[in-house]
Amino acid sequence: MAFLDHIDACNRHDLNRFRPFIVGGRQVGWVRGDIAWHLEEYEAVFAVTPDAVHLQRHLSEPEARSQAVDQVCRALHAKWQTPPLRGERYRVARTWGEEPVMTMDRGVVSLFGVRAFGVHVNGFVRDGERLKLWVAKRAPERAVAPGKLDNLIAGGQPAHLSLRDNLIKEAAEEADVPAALAQTARPVGVISYCVEDQWGLKPDVMFCYDLELPPDFTPRNTDGEVESFALMEVDEVMARIRDTQDFKANVNLVILDFLIRHGVLCPDNEPDYAAIAHGLKRGW
Amino acid sequence: MAFLDHIDACNRHDLNRFRPFIVGGRQVGWVRGDIAWHLEEYEAVFAVTPDAVHLQRHLSEPEARSQAVDQVCRALHAKWQTPPLRGERYRVARTWGEEPVMTMDRGVVSLFGVRAFGVHVNGFVRDGERLKLWVAKRAPERAVAPGKLDNLIAGGQPAHLSLRDNLIKEAAEEADVPAALAQTARPVGVISYCVEDQWGLKPDVMFCYDLELPPDFTPRNTDGEVESFALMEVDEVMARIRDTQDFKANVNLVILDFLIRHGVLCPDNEPDYAAIAHGLKRGW
């Protein structure tokens, strides 16, 4: 294992297997060939060509687009066991700052290869000059990455919230962090990657935050998604990232960014330093 | 002006005008067509084809390569007024961690489009929750960017030094920062860009550092390269970057990285946030 292996693992994809997904004349995602084939049947909603999957032009309003796609996805799930809707809406847009062309259920964004946004928070404690990181262990029954190590707080970005409000909501649910404390989290940058999952493509953008916690604060999970928390020496975290796959795949990237920004990973000691720093932005 | 304009300005180039520069069978740079034409004359050193410029294979050792290229560059300068040698050696390698294939004089790295490395240090002071940045004003007689605003400390990376030792050397020369204080500078990441200059291509990689300074420290230039220093509110620095071209072109990028890492630029307020963060790594 090496640090760069985690970056490679989060960027495995072959766009030759995908067709652009186009809404209102603009590409906002990618659809895998076999999924495009399933979509041909729903020609009131999709115009499928050998080169692209278009949302039909008569669907010109965000609300109508969102409802039509939901309906197809429910039918696909019933017929082909594609993922079910999960009841949480994501924005569909190329960038976070752009006006979304529609929303889409969280469960099916990879079917359409739509960019998903999220917030990740490294919770840390200072011990003199040394840093410690609060690390969550995901519950064993979670659908994604059961039992893997995770950031203190992380969550996908619902359509209707600001990033800051989402962070405060997730902080309460996942780690029982009071709003006033969560409010002190500092935005520190953004990471991106692009990986294939079972159904399609995940071109993800993660907004990263640092949250310095008082030494007497202990996180406590309130929504059942975390089995336990541990406060780890930053050097131990770095060694486990380098040598193991204990962390959820994309969390390795968020922590590598932390290690670089805090001078734990150093350019005079790590030959891959610049490649790692650049690799954290590969999926753009 | 917008933040992204500075990133665009540091990434203007057209590789169609360049040919790969190949040493020992590996590409380590780019030579512009008209320079390649000048090099044809020196066939003991260069093998120029329509597709590439090769260093002749009989030059198999780093020292012999370096001397042969220096000699050609002196002749080119005499005949065509290309830049003179400056007496400072840079490593020639694709990445910092790689074994260099030769060294090259600082004055001519853009003629061969070789990746140049440097260190840039943001010197800052805490004023409660607010940050202030020490900003240098370059001397009016400097060859590059006279009178422009600059980081507290910055310098190209000589072949024979570690990044840390170069930082300490530059800190003493440019800002009279004692070694013990310079030693506390924290590596915080890396920035890259790729821009054409008058003679060729600059694919630059800048290792960035944060140096927190005590409130009673005042920098003082010792090598004549800086006219004056000013301690600026971080919000003023951000506004001058957004609205003016007062800063040396690549320094805008180093400070944008600082503003992102310290939460001064925020993703909920800046629509281009993710594009800026990614733009700081474009020249890789």
**Six-digit token string for B37:** 């034409």
Question: Smallest Cβ distance to A188: which of B97, B164, B260?
Answer: B260
Looking at residue A284, what is its pLDDT? 87
Average pLDDT of the residues in B38-49: 98
Which residue of chain B is at minimal alpha-carbon distance from A259?
Answer: B188
Q: Look up the pTM and report it.
A: 0.96
Q: How far apart are CA A7 and CA A14, in angstroms?
A: 16
In degrees rounded to 5, what are phi and psi of residue A10?
A: -85, 0
Per-residue pLDDT band for B143 (boundaries 50, 70, 90) equals confident
Contact call for B273 and A190, based on CB within 8 A: yes
**Six-digit token string for A107:** 């469960």
| Exposure on the CB side of residue B1, measured as CA atoms within 13 A | 14
Which residue of chain A is at minimal alpha-carbon distance from B167?
Answer: A268
Which residue of chain B is at minimal alpha-carbon distance from A283?
Answer: B278
Low-confidence ranges of chain A (pLDDT < 70): 1
The fraction of chain B above a pLDDT of 90, given in percent, is: 97
Maximum CA extent, chain A: 63
Q: Looking at beta carbons, which residues of chain A come within 8 Å of B284?
A: 274, 278
Q: How far apart are CA B229 and CA B73, in angstroms?
A: 36
Contact call for B278 and A275, based on CB within 8 A: no
* Mutation for B interface: A268, A269, A270, A272, most B CBs within 10 A: A268
Instruction: Count the neighbouring beta carbons within 10 Å of the beta carbon of residue A257.
Output: 26
- Closest Cα in chain B, distance from residue A186 (Å): 5
* Mutation for A interface: B157, B166, B261, most A CBs within 10 A: B261
pLDDT digits (tens, 9 = 90+) for B215-225: 999 999 998 99
- Closest Cα in chain A, distance from residue B252 (Å): 17
Looking at residue A143, what is its pLDDT? 87
Question: Smallest Cβ distance to A281: which of B188, B263, B278?
Answer: B278
If phi over 0 gives left and psi between -120 and 50 gives alpha, with beta otherwise, what is residue A263?
left
Q: How far apart are CA B90 and CA A283, in angstroms?
A: 32
Q: Looking at beta carbons, which residues of chain A come within 8 Å of B268?
A: 162-164, 187
Contact call for A274 and B164, based on CB within 8 A: no
**Six-digit token string for B236:** 């003023």
Question: Smallest Cβ distance to B162: which of A268, A270, A272?
Answer: A268
Contact call for B266 and A188, based on CB within 8 A: no
Instruction: Please answer whether residues B254 and B122 qualify as being in contact, where contact means their C-beta atoms are separated by less than 8 angstroms.
Output: yes
Contact call for B95 and A275, based on CB within 8 A: yes
Q: How far apart are CA B23 and CA B99, in angstroms?
A: 13
- Closest Cα in chain B, distance from residue A227 (Å): 31
Show the domains of chain A with their CATH numbers: 3-10+116-279 (3.90.79.10), 16-112 (3.30.750.160)
Amino acid at the residue A217: F
The string over B42-54, giving b where at least 16 C-beta atoms fall within 10 Å of a residue's C-beta and e elsewhere, is beebbebeeeebb
Q: Which residues contact A260 (CB under 8 A, 6 or more apart)?
A: A273, A276, A277, B187, B188, B189
Contact call for A190 and B277, based on CB within 8 A: yes
Q: How far is CA B74 from CA B80, B110, B136, in A?
A: 10, 15, 33
Per-residue pLDDT band for B106 (boundaries 50, 70, 90) equals very high
- Helix A234-243 to helix A249-261 angle (10° resolution) is 130
Q: What sign does the dihedral B246-B252-B254-B257 (CA atoms) show?
A: positive
Question: Smallest Cβ distance to A261: which of B189, B265, B268?
Answer: B189
Helix-strand-coil percent breakdown of chain B, rounded to 5? Answer: 30, 30, 40
DSSP string, B84-117: PP-S-EEEE-SSTTSPPSEEEEGGGTGGGT--EE
Question: Smallest Cβ distance to B267: which of A207, A265, A274?
Answer: A207
Instruction: Count the neighbouring beta carbons within 10 Å of the beta carbon of residue B273.
Output: 23
Looking at residue B164, what is its pLDDT? 97
Question: Smallest Cβ distance to B164: which of A268, A270, A284?
Answer: A268
Q: How far apart are CA B269 and CA A97, in angstroms?
A: 9
Is a pLDDT exceeding 80 seen at residue B1?
no
Quick one: which of A135, A179, A171, A165 has its CA closest to A153?
A: A171
Instruction: Please answer whether residues B209 and B120 qualify as being in contact, where contact means their C-beta atoms are separated by less than 8 angstroms.
Output: yes
Q: How far apart are CA B257 and CA B260, in angstroms?
A: 5
- Closest Cα in chain A, distance from residue B92 (Å): 15
Contact call for A189 and B277, based on CB within 8 A: yes
Q: Which residues contact B165 (CB under 8 A, 6 or more apart)?
A: none
The SS3 of residue B24 is: coil
Strand pairing category for B18-23 and B53-55: parallel
pLDDT digits (tens, 9 = 90+) for B56-65: 999 999 999 9
pLDDT digits (tens, 9 = 90+) for A235-278: 999 999 999 999 999 999 999 999 999 999 999 999 999 999 99
Q: How far apart are CA B200 and CA B35, in angstroms?
A: 8
Which residue of chain B is at minimal alpha-carbon distance from A98?
Answer: B271
Run of H or E including A7: helix A3-9
Q: How far apart are CA B58 and CA B65, in angstroms?
A: 9
Contact call for B96 and A272, based on CB within 8 A: no
Instruction: Please answer whether residues A66 and A103 qualify as being in contact, where contact means their C-beta atoms are separated by less than 8 angstroms.
Output: yes
Q: Looking at beta carbons, which residues of chain B come within 8 Å of A97?
A: 270-275
